[in-house]
Structures are given as structure tokens and as C-alpha cells.
Amino acid sequence: MSTLSLSNIAVRYKGQLRPAVEGASLSVDHGEFVVLTGRSGCGKSTLLNVAAGLVLPERGEASVDGRAIEGPGADRAVVFQSDALFPWFSARDNVAFALRLRGIGERQRQQTADDLLRRVRLEGLGDKPVWEMSGGMRQRVGLARALAAEPAFLLMDEPLGALDALTRERMQTLLLDIWAPGNLGVLMVTHGIEEALLLGTRVVVMAPDPGRIAHTFEAGFSRRYAAGEPIRSIKADPAFAAARAALADAIFEGEPA
């Protein structure tokens, strides 16, 4: 059982007076799905990037199982909003990228990549150039590419932010299916209130100026999905609507109307 832990993190970007993040502490256990949400500019992406090792904090400690995070690493694979796929590779070669970096042979790479493409429901599309794919398909290739690194933690920065509403719902189910077996800790940034509640086992609300953690909600809806309850019935639960209203209040707290 692995734990990703951020403690008392402060980040200040060059040339900025106010820190982007100040005194934020957070931990993600294996099997947890932690969602970071909040208004624009509250530092949620910055905090995720600290966990990824892409941003080094000015103060505070970022570590995995007590080992300090000193840079990016395959134990914490990242999925980006822009999908950041490599258009010069086919879908399969994109997925197999982490394996290629480790010097794993062509046949083994292909097989693993095709298995992962099946898992993200892109079976048989391995040879397709990614620049011919729709936004939803590309995002699924990005997800499969991150999973190929066999990370302990999956870090996702608004992975569904650029998708249309229908595709988004389908992707939410897919993310839950990927997480449900419990062998991954997930940290995800989103603007979507409903998405945060539906996916997160814990929802962390951040507030801006300076970016800090304002509230933390425990949410059980994704566990209910993992236990077999359909999404439709979860969303129809009055408890879901009540939690949604409470979360919205927390996010917009202190915001002039």
C-alpha cells in the first residue's frame, strides 16, 4: 500500500507576488480517488504538478512512501487536458511509449498496448494515427499511455475538460472502471462539480489568493458504483443532489455574486 503525500506545500512562480499555493497538505492512498476542485486560479493544477514532480515547491515536502519527490517519474503517470499525445506515433506506439523507454521488445510492447487499448475501449484502433482521432478517443489513448507505465498513482489534470457533455459522461464511467479494481491511487483536477462528486472518494476544494485548501468532503458515490450500483440511480439519489449543493456552496464561498 502506497501513499502519496504533500505536506505544507508552498509554490511561488517567478515574477509573481502572491504564492500560487500556500500551506497545502494532502495525501492520496492506494485505492483512493481524490478530486481537486475550485475556482480558476486556486492552484489546483499547480498542486497536481507538485505531486507529478513537474513543479518543485518553494517550501513543504512532497513524497511517496517517505521518499521525496525530486522530479517526474513513471510511478506517477500524468494525463493532461491537452492529451499531449505524440502525433508522429500511431495510437499503439503512443500507448507503448513507457515500455519503449524501458527497452521492452517490440512484440511484448504491441501485446501490452493492444490489451490497454481494449481496456479503454479502443480495440482494433492501434494503427490509427492519433491526429485523425476525436477528442474523446485521444483522451482514452492518453489514459492508456499513462496506464502502460504501471503507475502507483494516476495524476489527471482536467482530463475531460475539453470534451463534449456526452463523451464526458462516457469517460467518467471509464475512469471509474479503471480505478475500481483498487490497484491505483488517483488524483484528479476538475472544474465539474457533479464530476467531482461522482468520481471522488474525497473531494478537496481549493480557494484562490493565495491558493489553499479550503474544505474537504468525503464522498461515497464512486464506491457505490464500484459495488455495482448504476450511475443513473446514484445521480437520482437525493443525497447526491444535497452533496452537490453543499459542494457548490463551498466552491463559491466568499465569491462576490
| Residue 76 binds other proteins (CB under 8 A) | yes
Closer of 145 and 212 to other proteins (Cβ): 145
* Cβ contact 117:92 at 8 Å: yes
What are the helix (H) ranges across the chain? 44-52, 91-95, 97-101, 106-119, 135-148, 165-179, 193-199, 221-226, 231-236, 238-252
Question: What is the four-CA torsion angle of 155, 77, 173, 207, rounded to 10 degrees?
Answer: 10
Residue 71, classified by CB atoms within 10 Å of its CB into exposed (0-12), middle (13-18) or buried (19+), is exposed
Which residues inside 93-112 make contact with other proteins, applying CB under 8 A? 97-98, 100-102
Stretch that binds other proteins, among 37-45, 144-152, 199-207, 232-240 (CB under 8 A): 144-152
| Residue 120 binds other proteins (CB under 8 A) | no
| Residue 60 binds other proteins (CB under 8 A) | no
Stretch that binds other proteins, among 26-34, 123-131, 219-227, 238-246 (CB under 8 A): 123-131
* Cβ contact 222:198 at 8 Å: yes
Enter the DSSP assignment of 134.
-
The strand pairing partners of 84, in sequence order, are none
| Residue 73 binds other proteins (CB under 8 A) | yes
Q: Which of residues 84, 239, 242, 248 is near other proteins by CB under 8 A?
A: 84
* Cβ contact 122:153 at 8 Å: no
Neighbours of 125 (CB within 10 A): 19
Closer of 36 and 155 to other proteins (Cβ): 155
Q: Which of residues 15, 66, 71, 238 is near other proteins by CB under 8 A?
A: 71
Going 168 to 83 to 125 to 144, the CA torsion angle's sign is negative
| Residue 146 binds other proteins (CB under 8 A) | yes
Stretch that binds other proteins, among 49-57, 204-212, 213-221, 235-243 (CB under 8 A): 49-57
Closer of 21 and 79 to other proteins (Cβ): 79
Q: Please give the residue ranges that form the binding site for other proteins (CB under 8 A).
A: 52-54, 71-74, 76-78, 80, 82, 84, 86-88, 97-98, 100-102, 129-131, 142, 145-146, 149, 155
